[in-house]
Structure 1
C-alpha cells in the first residue's frame, strides 16, 4: 500500500491474531470516515459532515459490477495501422467477487479484509484513513501462479448518483463531463477525426474513440464531493455510467489496484491534494510564455527572411521553432555551421530558438548510425522478449525505423542526455520534445519491468531526463514542450502542447476538441498547456481556411502556451491551409492576438506560481469554482483564465456570436466595456476578429506595454530596434473592474503588490494633471483621464516612476507596494455603475 510519508499501518494486536468477522468496522476522522460492512462486503466513504459520498457495490460474483474482484483477461493485441495506437482487445473471464469478508488486521486508522474466492484464492482489501484521503487497495491472490487461469486484472464498482458527473482523466478531447463514457488510460498516438459535422462515437476519433489521448491521467473529479486517483502505471479503465445508469466501475490490468479517494466537497481542494501527492507544475522561464512560430532558417516571405518580416510587421514573436530533427535521425549532422550561424542571427533579433528531439534513435540513417550502433552494443534500448532491440516505426520528419532508449536504466538516461546536449551545443534554447507513446507491451526494460507497466510512465521518464539536463546546463532559462505524458509529467515539462490536431473545426480533433483537452488536463493537475494554432493534420476535406486560422489564433491568445503551426500534414495528398501571410487582415488579427498573449506575461507568471503552490490550473473550468451549479457540468467551450478573466473562444464554423454560460457576478467586456450580468447564458457578438474575453468585477490583470515584441531580454548584440522584455520593465499596465465597495489585489512574480479599492462614496480628485486619454500613457509625473466608456465609467491614471505609490482619486484608492522594479503603473479602472 502506498502511504503518505511518515504514515504506517499497524495491524491490531490480539492474543491469537486470528481472523475475525462480525459487526461493521468503522474508521473515524475529522475530514473523512469509513464504514466497512463485512457481509455483504461494502465500503462506505463518509465526509466530514457525515454524508455518505462513495459506496462500493456488494457481491456481483461473475459480473463486471460488484465488490472488489479479479479476473483473467485473455485479451490480445490487435495489429494496428500505426503502432502507437492501442490495439488491446479485452477477453475477460467471469469476475470473481466474493460477497463476504473477514477482518484480518485492524488499527485506529486502517484495516485489512480477506474475501475467500475458493480453491485457496482470495481478494485482500486494505483500507486506510489518512486525513481527507482514503486508500483502498485491492490485491488479487491466486493460489497457483502457474495456472493458465491466474488472475491479471482487478476491479471495483461504486454506486452512481443520478446527478453525478466526472471531469479530468487527462487530456480528453471528446468530452469534458465524462458521464456515460468508458475511458481507458493508455498514452497513444492521436486519433483521426471524422469531420466537423460528426459527433463523437466509438470510432470518432478513429480508431479507438473518445479514450484516445497522448496524455492520460487516471484521476477524476466528481460533482458528488470527492476525487479518485489510480496510482498505477498499468492500463486502467473507468466506465462512468456507460454500462449501467446506477453504477460505475474502475479496473486495472494488474493484480493490485490501489484507489485513492480525496474527500473534499470543493474540487479545487481535491486538485490541491492530488498535486501535493503527485507533483505540481513547474515554473518555466518567463520567455516560455511568448508566442512560438514554426519558422525554419530558410523560410522567406516575398524574398525576405520570415523572421525579419515578423519584426518588420510588428508581429510579437518570442520563439522560433525551426524543426531541425536532432533526435532521432541527427539531421543536423553536416549542417552544424549553417545552423549555428542562423541561431546567432535570430538571437540578435530578439528571438529564442528551439529544435526538435524525441527519445528514440533511428536505424538505417547515416547521421544516427553511430548512435544506433552504440546503443545496441551497450544494451541501452528496450528489448523484445527474445532479447533483440525493440523497434517501432513512425514518421519523425520522415518514415523511420526506431529504437526506444531504455530510460529505466541510469546509463541510458545519461546517454540520452548526452544526445540532447548536441542541441544545446549548437546554441538552441530548447526543443519540441515529441512522441513517447510507442512502448510495446511485451518489451523488456533494464529495471525488470515489461512494456505493459513502463508504457504510461515512459513519457514521464523522458521529460524528467530532459528537465534534469536543462536544470544542470541552463537552470531557469530553457524551454522544451512535450505532447505525451502521464501522472507526474507536470513536474518536469515547462510546457505541454496538444499534439497533432486536425486543421478544421472537427468535433473530436479540431479546434473545439482542443478547448476540451486543455480544460481536462488542467483538472488533472497540468497547468502549462497550449495547442497548435491552426492545427497540424489536414486529413478531412473540410476547409483549412482563414476562419479556422483566426479563431484558433484567438484561442491561442488565451492559452498559457501559444504556438503557431505551419504544417498541413496528410500522408497521401499534398494539401495546404491558410497561413499568416495570406492577407493583411490575417497579419493584423494574428498580430493582435499574439500581442495580447505577450502582454499577459505578468498575469501568466502569477498564475504559474499559483499552480506551482496550489495545483490550480491557469485555464480553469468553471466547475472548479461552481461545482454544484448544474449548468456548469455542460460547459466545454468557456473558462476562467486565472481568477480575473473569463473567456469563451468561438469554436464553430460560421458563428458571428457566441452563447455562453457566465458565472455569477458582473463581467466587463475586455474590448468594448459592455457589462454582462452573470448566472446564466448570454449571447455575445463575435465577428471574425473578436475574442470574447471578460474581466470579473473585482478582477485585476497586470500587463506589459503594448510595444512589446519579444519576451527575450536584451543582450549585448540584440538589435536596439527590437522591443524586448527588459526594455519595457519601467512601465506596467493594470486593468481592474470594480463595483462600489469592491477591491482587487494581486502579487506579481517579483513581489510587487497591487491593490485597488473602490469606496462607496467619492472623495476629492487626486490632484494629478488631467490630460487627454491619448496622453495618459506617456506622462512622466503622473496624470489622469476619465469618462464614460461602454457600460462603465473609466479612469485611466498613471503614477510617477517609482517602486511604490499610493493614489486616492474620488472613490478609488490605488496602491503599489513592495516594488522590486521602478515603474510607472498605468491603472485602467473600469468602474461599474
Structure 2
C-alpha cells in the first residue's frame, strides 16, 4: 500500500510466484515489480483513507482470528531438559515475574515432528524430557501455557523422516524422487497432498492432545525450490508463496481439530496473502544481533509496519534476534536491553535463546538483566486489557496493533515519512531507541496533545521533542493521547489459571487510567473493551456501560483521584 498525491491506494498481485518490488529505491519517481510468471493479475483499490484500505484488504484476503488472551502476555524461552525448565519456571513464579507461557523448543518428539534438538546458545544444552506429559502437566499446574517448535522440514538424519518418505508425502523432484535440499539435507512435507495433510493432522493431535502442548512456533516454510513438483501438479515456482500459505492453513486446521475451543497459539515465520487467517501472531524471523542492516534492530519497526498494512496485525519482536553478530559483550548487552524495550510494546513479549556461541546476554545473566526483564514484563502484562481490545478490533477490521503513523494521522505529511516510531493502537505513540549509545530520543509528535507516559509532561503536537531514553526495562519513550482512556490490568502472575493457590491469575479486573489534557486537549473520550464494555470519560466521571460480568474497576483520574468499585451489573458511574 502507498499514498498517491491525492489519495491512498492498494496494489495487489494475485499470483503465487516469487515477486520483487522496487518502490522508488532505484528511481525516486518510479515504482516497478517483477514476477516469475508468464502473466500477472494486478488489482488496484483506492481509499478514501488508509484505514479504509487496510479494512478492505482484510475483507478481500481474510480477517485474522482472535487468539486467546494469554497470547498477548509475556513468554519465556527455556531449554535444557525437563528438570531444568521446571526449575526455571518455578523460579519465575517465586520472583513474581508475570510470565504466562513457556517456549521449550528442545523437547523433541519424533512421532509428532516436534522440537528442535540443536541448542546453540552458549552455556545451554538440549536436555532430556523423559515424561513429556508430566512435563506439560506440571507447567500447566503452575499457570503456564507450554509451547514447542514445529517445522515443515524433515531432516534425513532423524527418525521422523522415514514415515512420510515411505508414504510419498514429501515434495518431489520432476523425476519423482524426494527433493532434498543440498545444503541443509532436509525435505519438505507436501501440503498440496490431502493424504499428507491427514498424516500431519495426526501428528498435531499427538502434540496438543496426547503430549499437552498448547501450540508453538511454525518455523521455515519458505525454501521450496522453483523446480520442485508438488502433488497437485504445480511447480515450486508456481507455489513459491502458496506453499507457506498451505503450511499455515494445514497447521491451523489441525490444531483447531485438536483444540476446538481455540485455546492454542501458532507463531508464523513465513506466510503470504491469506496466511493471516491461519496464525496467532507473526514474528521477525531469524534477525541478527546488531543495530544496522536489513535484519538488525533498526529493521524491526519498518517490518512490523509493513506487516500491519499488509493484513498481519499481531506482529512481535523476538528479543535480541537469533543470529550472533560481532558486537562486544557490553555492546550486545545494550542492544539486548533496547530490543527488550521494543518488544515490551508489541503484541506479545517473548525472549529467545538463539545461535550464540560466545557469552550471550540472557534474562538470568545478572541482577541488571533480570530486573530489566521483570520491569518490562510488568509493563507489558499491565497492557493486556488494552492489547486484547485492539486484537478484538483487528479480528473484525484487520487494523493492526502496531500502526504506521499515517493510519492515525492521515492528514499529516510527516506521519507518512516516519519509519522508526509507531502507534500502538489509537492511544499510544511508541518511539524505540535504535541507535547505540543514545541517552535521549528525538520524537516527532503528530498534531494534538501528547502526554509523556513515564513523566506526565504534556506536549503540543506537530513538532519534534527530545526526551530522556534510559537504558533499563521501563520501556522506550512512549506518549499517550491527552485525555485518552487506558485500560490496564492490576498486578497478576499469569493470564492462565493455575492449580497453585499462590499464583494470581488475571480475572478481568481493571485499572482505568485517564490521561490529563492541556488547555487545547479533549476532556472527553471513549474506549471499547474486548468484551463489549464501553468506557466513557466525561471530564469528571467515568461511565461504564454493557459490562458483561462482575469485575473490580479502579479509576485513576487526571486530577489524582483514585476511586475503586466492584461492578456486579452492566453499568456504573465512578466519580
Q: TM-score when scaled to structure 2?
A: 0.89
| Partner in structure 1 of residue 238 of structure 2 | 453
| Partner in structure 1 of residue 140 of structure 2 | 347
| Partner in structure 2 of residue 737 of structure 1 | 515
Instruction: Indicate how the Cα distance of structure 1 residues 417 and 743 shifts in structure 2: closer, same or farther if over 3 A, else same.
Output: same
Q: 1:738, 1:758 within 8 Å by CA — same for their partners in 2?
A: no
Alignment of structure 1 residues 177-216 onto 2, 5 Å: none
Q: Distance in 2 between matches of 1:804 and 1:471?
A: 33
Alignment of structure 1 residues 753-832 onto 2, 5 Å: 753-758=534-539, 793-807=559-573, 809=575
Alignment deviations for residues 334-393 of structure 1 (CA, whole Å, 9 cap, x no partner): 96642222222111111111111111222232x32xxx3332333211111111101126
| Partner in structure 2 of residue 402 of structure 1 | 186
Q: Distance in 1 between matches of 2:319 and 2:42?
A: 37
| Partner in structure 1 of residue 226 of structure 2 | 441
Residue 286 of structure 1: which of 69, 77, 97 is its match? 69
Instruction: For residue 305 of structure 1, report the CA deviation from its aligned partner.
Output: 1.7
For 1:623, what is the secondary structure of its paired residue?
Answer: helix
1:520 aligns with 2:313: no
Alignment of structure 1 residues 53-132 onto 2, 5 Å: none
Instruction: Indicate how the Cα distance of structure 1 residues 681 and 294 shifts in structure 2: closer, same or farther if over 3 A, else same.
Output: same
Instruction: For residue 645 of structure 1, report the CA deviation from its aligned partner.
Output: 1.2
For 1:509, what is the secondary structure of its paired residue?
Answer: coil
Instruction: For residue 268 of structure 1, report the CA deviation from its aligned partner.
Output: 1.2
Q: 1:712, 1:724 within 8 Å by CA — same for their partners in 2?
A: yes
For 2:222, what is the secondary structure of its paired residue?
Answer: coil
Q: 2:308, 2:402 within 8 Å by CA — same for their partners in 1?
A: yes
Q: Distance in 2 between matches of 1:531 and 1:488?
A: 21
| Partner in structure 2 of residue 240 of structure 1 | 23
Q: Distance in 1 between matches of 2:246 and 2:51?
A: 27
| Partner in structure 2 of residue 419 of structure 1 | 203
Q: 2:82, 2:129 within 8 Å by CA — same for their partners in 1?
A: no
Q: 2:485, 2:512 within 8 Å by CA — same for their partners in 1?
A: yes
Stretches of structure 2 that go unaligned for 5 or more consecutive residues are 118-126, 544-550
Instruction: Indicate how the Cα distance of structure 1 residues 738 and 355 shifts in structure 2: closer, same or farther if over 3 A, else same.
Output: same
| Partner in structure 2 of residue 386 of structure 1 | 175
Instruction: For residue 416 of structure 1, report the CA deviation from its aligned partner.
Output: 1.5
Instruction: For residue 320 of structure 1, report the CA deviation from its aligned partner.
Output: 0.7
Instruction: For residue 744 of structure 1, report the CA deviation from its aligned partner.
Output: 1.7
Cα RMSD (Å): 2.8
| Partner in structure 2 of residue 473 of structure 1 | 258
Q: 1:278, 1:488 within 8 Å by CA — same for their partners in 2?
A: yes
Q: Distance in 2 between matches of 1:317 and 1:362?
A: 33
| Partner in structure 2 of residue 776 of structure 1 | none
Q: Distance in 2 between matches of 1:250 and 1:550?
A: 38
Q: 1:643, 1:699 within 8 Å by CA — same for their partners in 2?
A: no
Q: 2:442, 2:466 within 8 Å by CA — same for their partners in 1?
A: yes
Instruction: Indicate how the Cα distance of structure 1 residues 335 and 586 shifts in structure 2: closer, same or farther if over 3 A, else same.
Output: closer
Instruction: For residue 300 of structure 1, report the CA deviation from its aligned partner.
Output: 8.1
Residue 413 of structure 2: which of 630, 633, 640 is its match? 630
Instruction: Indicate how the Cα distance of structure 1 residues 293 and 547 shifts in structure 2: closer, same or farther if over 3 A, else same.
Output: same
Q: TM-score when scaled to structure 1?
A: 0.62
Q: Distance in 2 between matches of 1:246 and 1:545?
A: 39
Mean Cα deviation higher: 347-356 or 534-543: 534-543
Q: Distance in 1 between matches of 2:555 and 2:20?
A: 60
Higher helix share: 2
Instruction: Indicate how the Cα distance of structure 1 residues 298 and 658 shifts in structure 2: closer, same or farther if over 3 A, else same.
Output: same
Mean Cα deviation higher: 440-449 or 408-417: 408-417
Instruction: Indicate how the Cα distance of structure 1 residues 390 and 295 shifts in structure 2: closer, same or farther if over 3 A, else same.
Output: same
Instruction: For residue 805 of structure 1, report the CA deviation from its aligned partner.
Output: 4.6
Alignment deviations for residues 787-829 of structure 1 (CA, whole Å, 9 cap, x no partner): xxxxx633322224433454364xxxxxxxxxxxxxxxxxxxx
Q: 2:50, 2:410 within 8 Å by CA — same for their partners in 1?
A: yes
Residue 505 of structure 2: which of 724, 727, 733 is its match? 724
Instruction: For residue 724 of structure 1, report the CA deviation from its aligned partner.
Output: 1.6
Largest Rg, 1 or 2: 1
Instruction: Indicate how the Cα distance of structure 1 residues 339 and 700 shifts in structure 2: closer, same or farther if over 3 A, else same.
Output: same
Instruction: For residue 548 of structure 1, report the CA deviation from its aligned partner.
Output: 1.5
Q: 2:292, 2:298 within 8 Å by CA — same for their partners in 1?
A: yes
Instruction: Indicate how the Cα distance of structure 1 residues 754 and 564 shifts in structure 2: closer, same or farther if over 3 A, else same.
Output: same
For 2:17, what is the secondary structure of its paired residue?
Answer: coil
Q: 2:205, 2:255 within 8 Å by CA — same for their partners in 1?
A: no
Tell which has more relative contact order, 1 or 2 (C-alpha 8 A, sep 6+): 2
Alignment deviations for residues 488-528 of structure 1 (CA, whole Å, 9 cap, x no partner): 11100111111111123234222221122111111111001
Q: Distance in 2 between matches of 1:309 and 1:526?
A: 34
Q: 1:568, 1:575 within 8 Å by CA — same for their partners in 2?
A: no
For 1:533, what is the secondary structure of its paired residue?
Answer: coil
Instruction: Indicate how the Cα distance of structure 1 residues 439 and 653 shifts in structure 2: closer, same or farther if over 3 A, else same.
Output: same
Residue 263 of structure 1: which of 43, 46, 53 is its match? 46
Q: Distance in 1 between matches of 2:168 and 2:355?
A: 38
| Partner in structure 2 of residue 511 of structure 1 | 297
Q: Distance in 2 between matches of 1:385 and 1:467?
A: 29
| Partner in structure 2 of residue 529 of structure 1 | 315
Q: 1:385, 1:444 within 8 Å by CA — same for their partners in 2?
A: yes
| Partner in structure 2 of residue 557 of structure 1 | 344
Instruction: Indicate how the Cα distance of structure 1 residues 275 and 332 shifts in structure 2: closer, same or farther if over 3 A, else same.
Output: closer
Q: Distance in 1 between matches of 2:537 and 2:168?
A: 62
Instruction: Indicate how the Cα distance of structure 1 residues 352 and 783 shifts in structure 2: closer, same or farther if over 3 A, else same.
Output: closer
| Partner in structure 1 of residue 96 of structure 2 | 314
Q: How many residues align?
A: 548
| Partner in structure 2 of residue 588 of structure 1 | 371
Q: Distance in 1 between matches of 2:553 and 2:224?
A: 61
Stretches of structure 1 that go unaligned for 5 or more consecutive residues are 1-166, 168-219, 395-399, 767-779, 787-791, 810-833
Higher strand share: 1
